[in-house]
Structure 1
């Protein structure tokens, strides 16, 4: 991660943008987000020092998933099912072909 490239991985930028868009759409307030994220970081850092990159975005994702589950917007069982379907789709897609989730 450098000043020219604030995110180490593209998914981190996408996660940040998704969180911001959901907040701006009224799914949760930014204050609620920062409180929940702070609690997740505190819990993750209770047993070891965090690295500020992979640890940070793992906590970010966990927090967002928790907020979406709690609000009913993306309940954990549904999110888990979609993740599993996406994984099966990309693992079975030949390189260079579009990934499609089966109905």
Structure 2
């Protein structure tokens, strides 16, 4: 069964790492056949905002962040895998695999 993943990416400056992390997560998820939606919380504010339905249906939630997630209460009922943006930029595959392993515990 394909895993449904939602992620939020946000770095302190809200510029490069926010978007690079989002792209890396999407790239590895697509390669592995996972369904992923990524919300970015950058200098432009919240983009590609996740709907509550997206969040509720997700098997896995990844916060690839170096700062506080805006509107984090939307994820209250979910188990969240937290990782820094630079780790995801270096290795998006490890972040997704770590999140999946964490969700299956």
TM-score of the superposed pair, with normalisation by structure 2 = 0.32
Higher helix proportion (structure 1 or 2) = 1
User: Comparing both chains, which one has the higher relative contact order based on Cα–Cα distances under 8 Å and sequence gaps of 6 or more?
Assistant: 2
Rg (Cα) greater in structure: 1
TM-score of the superposed pair, with normalisation by structure 1 = 0.32
Higher strand proportion (structure 1 or 2) = 2
